[in-house]
Amino acid sequence: MRDSPGSVVTLLCSGIQLYSAERRIADCILNDVKWASVVTSAQLARASQSSEATVTRLCHKLGFDNYRKFQLALARDVMDQQETETQRSTSPDPLRQALQSVQANRQEEVRATIQALNLRQLRKAMSVLRSAELIEVEASDNSLPVAMDASLKLGSLGKRCMTSAVPGRTRAFAATLTERDALLLISNSGRSERLLETARAAHERGASVLFITCDRRSPLAAQADHLLLASNRAQRIVATDPVPSLLSSALLVEVLYYLLLTEEDL
Highest mean pLDDT range out of 63-67, 124-128, 161-165? 124-128
Asked if 235 contacts 242 with a C-beta cutoff of 8 angstroms, the reply is yes
Counting runs of H as helices and runs of E as strands, what totals does the chain give?
13, 5
In what helix (H) or strand (E) does residue 122 lie, and over which residues does it extend?
A: helix 119-131
Asked whether residue 1 is domain-assigned, the answer is no
Co-location of 180 and 105 in the same domain: no
Co-location of 105 and 159 in the same domain: no
Please tell me the distance from the alpha carbon of residue 141 to that of residue 243, in angstroms, as a whole number: 11
0.85 cut: is pTM over it? Answer: no
Structural domains in the chain (count): 2
How many CA within 13 A on the CB side of residue 238? 8
- Residue 49 pLDDT greater than 90, yes or no: yes
Co-location of 65 and 95 in the same domain: yes
DSSP string, 16-33: ----HHHHHHHHHHHH-H
CA nearest 256: which of 183, 165, 182, 150? Answer: 150
Asked if 226 contacts 26 with a C-beta cutoff of 8 angstroms, the reply is no
Co-location of 165 and 90 in the same domain: no
* Between 155 and 5, residue with greater pLDDT: 155
Please identify, among 90, 115, 140, the residue that sits at the C-terminal boundary of a domain.
115
CATH number (domain holding residue 110): 1.10.10.10
Mean pLDDT of the chain: 86
Q: Would you place residue 225 in the very low, low, confident or very high pLDDT band (cuts 50, 70, 90)?
A: very high
Task: Tell me the average pLDDT across 251-256.
Answer: 95
Co-location of 166 and 255 in the same domain: yes
Instruction: Please tell me the total number of residues recorded for the chain in this structure.
Output: 266
Please identify, among 64, 90, 115, the residue that sits at the C-terminal boundary of a domain.
115
Expressed as residue numbers, the domain containing 158 is 119-262
Asked whether residue 2 is domain-assigned, the answer is no
Asked whether residue 173 is domain-assigned, the answer is yes
Co-location of 110 and 124 in the same domain: no
Asked whether residue 3 is domain-assigned, the answer is no
